[in-house]
Amino acid sequence: MTSDIGIARGTALYIGALLGPGLLLLPGLAAGQAGPASMVAWVVLLGASALFAVVFAALGVRHPSAGGVWGYASAGLGPRAGRVVAWCFLAGVIAGAPMVSVVGGNYVAELTGGGVRVAATTAAVLLVGTLAVTARGVRTSATVQFGLVALLLVIVVGAVAGAAPASRAANWTPFAPHGWAALGPASATLMLAFVGWEAIAPLTTRFARPRRQLPVVIAIAFAATAVVYLALGFVTVAVLGERAATEVPLAALLQIGLGDLGTTVAAVGALVLTIGAMLAYLAGAASLARALRPDPPGPEAHGATGLPRWLAGAVLVSGVVLIGPLATGRIELATLVNVPTTFFLVVYLGCTAAGWRLLRGAARVCAGIACVMVAVVLAFCGPALIPAALVTVAASVRRSGTRRTVGHPLDAAPDPG
């Protein structure tokens, strides 16, 4: 494969894989669960993110033909574990699509003054609309994706800079209003912001000098995302205080800096980010799904870019199961977020366990520590463990029908966080 990635492009690709529209939602949910103590969860998970970076970079360099996450798991733990990791990754995409649409729905509801039903209705329209568009083979380019990441950064930086002067020391007390045990659920919620290393790691084969360039790229990407995460989490608590427990934290922060215009900016930005992310999300899922479960051959199969029918149906069912109860108040948004998060945690559990067996030296130690940390966070996912367990069991007993190769990792599903 051509070595066409340098430090600048590699850094942009890594940052793009790590940041997502989930940042429009997660700081408020975590603050609602743990209060100011949610900053402890941010810091701990940043440590876990550093470990993930080391593990997936090492796997990518030392097993460049492993075929992504299921290749890593298969090489380290066997083909059955590889199938479990692959299907949990795809299930995370299927369950994550409704969650991403809800982000846009919440910001529209905040702008219009509507409640949870307006948010759920908007989310359903966004989900069905992007499914229809993606079914026709429409997808966003890498340039558009970079533009969306840049837009997200502009919104976050604007919100932080505009609202920071309104910080109050009193908003940090009590520091742990719901007890220290609340850090577990908050960490499970925030974990979705820290996945992405697994999707981009196979790009190591496209660096001219990966052993020299990768550490620089990873260090810059990690530092940039760490600053964004910590600044946003800090300002959300310091400025909003008790109001930090909101599903639209960026709207609240922008309103402080820009007045009523801030709510409009937040809603428009959220819609653009949501639609763009979901187009890439579903197009990437289609590529992954065709590799995991090839459609019957036919004239339209060669070079197909649209959604396989079974995948479109799965996403629709996921939307009904997750968005429907949200509209009626029978499920909380934090629980909704934990569903795709749990699937991705299973992926990380399999890959870090495989890393413990495949790697040596410091990378192996990092894999072992990361595996334990993932297992601990996974234990706090609550009812979301049930669908993950069902997919794990089904994938472990199912005969593999996957092809041995998949498309370029940039065609894989992006991180929803």
Count the helices and strands in the chain (H runs, E runs): 16, 0
Q: What's the pLDDT tens digit per position in 151-209? A: 888 888 999 999 999 999 999 999 999 999 999 999 999 998 888 887 666 677 777 78
Is the model's pLDDT at 295 over the cut of 70? Answer: no
Return the closest-CA partner of residue 232 out of 160, 170, 148: 160
Identify the DSSP state of 308.
-
Q: Is the pLDDT of residue 46 over 80?
A: yes
Q: CATH second-level architecture of 7-294+304-411?
A: Up-down Bundle (1.20)
Given a contact cutoff of 8 angstroms between Cβ atoms, the answer to whether 359 and 59 are in contact is yes
At residue 301, the pLDDT reads: 46
Share of the chain above pLDDT 90, in %: 42
CA 115-121-124 angle, to 5 degrees, is: 140
* CA dist., res. 308 & res. 408, Å (int): 19
CB 108 within 8 A of CB 122: yes
How much is the pLDDT for 189? 92
Residue 408: the pLDDT is 39
Record the pTM. Answer: 0.86
Structure tokens that stand for 313 in this block: 């149906």
Supply the pLDDT for residue 133.
Answer: 82
Tens digit of each residue's pLDDT (9 = 90 or more) over 62-103? 876 546 787 889 889 998 998 899 899 889 889 988 988 998
Rounded Cα gap, residues 124 and 119, in angstroms:
9
Structural domain boundaries of the chain?
7-294+304-411
Tokens found for residue 33: 């669960």
Half-sphere exposure of 14 (CA within 13 A, CB side): 33
Region 16-45 average pLDDT: 90
pLDDT at 33 over 70: yes
Q: Look up residue 5 and give its DSSP letter.
A: B
Residues of the chain by 3-state class (helix, strand, coil), percent to 5: 80, 0, 20
**pLDDT higher for 1 or 36?**
36
Q: Mean pLDDT score of the chain, rounded to an integer?
A: 84
Q: How many CB atoms lie within 10 A of CB 183?
A: 21
Tokens linked to 76? 């380290």
In this prediction, residue 139 carries a pLDDT of 62
- Please report the sign of the dihedral spanned by the C-alpha atoms of residue 182, residue 183, residue 186, residue 187: negative
| 34: confidence class by pLDDT, cuts 50, 70, 90 | very high
d(CA 346, CA 243): 33
Give 132's pLDDT tier (boundaries 50, 70, 90): confident
